[in-house]
Amino acid sequence: MASLIGNNKLSLKNQEFKDQTIRSLWLKGVDQLKKYSITDSALECELLVRSALGYTKSEFYSHLPDTVNEHEMILINQLIQRRLIGEPTPYILGTKEFYGIDFNVSKDVLIPRPETELLVDLALAQNKEGCLIADIGTGSGCIAVSIASHLPNLKIIAVDKSIDALRMARKNIMMHDMMDRIDLVNSDLLTAFKPGLKFDLIVSNPPYVPKDIYETLDKEIQLEPTIALNGGTDGLDIIRCLLQQANTMLSDGGSLLFEVFSDNSNEAFRLTSELIPMSRVTMHSDLLGLPRVIEAQKVL
């Protein structure tokens, strides 16, 4: 009798997942993510379901009416649960797209943000083909790889203080077959380089969140490395050092481009004019109209 009940239960359970289609699991997941106020829940859930099933976007949409097997259903639910307890989707998937390119990511690196693409646009607009470029605080390597993928004849030195970040950057540089064009250096900003070395372009997305704001950030953002975000008391500790060092390491006519926190961008602009005195300083805004990147071009 007991085994009969057990079998009935099993067949009922089988029935439960037999009825589940990719569409129904996706929609159920979207509802759950919405309840946790996760914006873009439809896209995030699509990415999670696709990752569990190994589907491209078009395969996902063409297979929506298909039923899943038990293993697939468990896998999809596990990924959605991880998202619901606050793990960012790129860390669950292990990848994030930036500038149209896929990058491996883990908790060792900042998740590349779309607003940083402006830095890449501005770097590419300088057309420094054949020049020497430094990417300071490379993290996943997303800025260096994106620039190098559009300018095939330049050399980039990608720097990070975090060895774990450099490991991830190496993985990405290898994946995109750029080992011969991007060198990795473990350094505190530019301190590892010989005095006298000059860069034609220095790009950086430094840690710039003021300490008191950092402490109030969502738990989800605080899962990202502290070293990637916390910019000290006023958020400008690293930027101050970067400006002082860049002043002596930029070639004549060379430029520094760095991302800023919009709240302290005026002070960052003032500091740039003070610490790189022989330069033309420009503030660039992002698509939302927020000050996002400061450019200092050394005048000849």
Ligand X SMILES: C[S@@+](CC[C@H](N)C(=O)[O-])C[C@H]1O[C@@H](n2cnc3c(N)ncnc32)[C@H](O)[C@@H]1O
Binding site for ligand X (CB under 6 A): 109-110, 112, 116, 136-140, 142-143, 159-162, 165, 188-189, 205-207, 227-228, 238
Please count the residues of the chain. Answer: 300
Please state, in angstroms and as integers, the Cα–Cα distance from residue 250 to each residue in 61, 146, 153, 186, 268, following that order: 50, 21, 19, 20, 18
- Residues 173-184, buried b or exposed e (16+ Cβ, 10 A)? beebebeebbeb
Cα R_g (the chain), whole angstroms: 23
> CB neighbours (10 Å) of residue 101?
15
Which DSSP symbol is given to 194? P
What's the min distance (Å) between Cβ of 8 and ligand X?
53
Contact call for residues 213 and 80 (beta carbons, < 8 A): no
Q: Which is nearer to ligand X, 110 or 154 (CB)?
A: 110
**Helix, strand, coil content of the chain in percent (nearest 5):** 50, 20, 35
Work out how close the CB of 13 gets to ligand X at its nearest, in angstroms, rounded to a whole number.
Answer: 44
Residue 103 phi, psi (nearest 5) = -125, 140
Closest CB 34 distance from ligand X, rounded Å:
28
Is residue 114 within 8 Å of residue 246, measured between CB atoms? no
Of 45 and 159, CB closest to ligand X: 159
Of residues 117 and 200, the one with the C-beta less far from ligand X? 117
Given the complex with ligand X, which of 79 and 203 has the nearer CB atom? 203
- The Cα–Cα gap between 128 and 77 comes to 47
Q: CB-wise, 80 or 228, nearer to ligand X?
A: 228
* Residue among 278, 290, 285 nearest 254 (CA): 278
The nearest distance, CB 160 to ligand X, in angstroms, is 5
CB 144 within 8 A of CB 170: no
Nearer to ligand X by Cβ, of 68 and 229: the residue is 229
Between helix 22-35 and helix 41-53 the angle, nearest 10°, is 140
Least distance CB 45 / ligand X (angstroms): 24
Residue 22 CA from chain centroid, whole number: 29
Question: Least distance from C-beta 237 to ligand X, angstroms?
Answer: 9
Closest CB to ligand X among residues 79, 119: 119
Closest distance to ligand X from the beta carbon of 243 (Å): 13
Closest CA to 246 of 193, 175, 184: 193
CB of 245 to ligand X, least distance (A): 10
Q: Which is nearer to ligand X, 123 or 151 (CB)?
A: 123
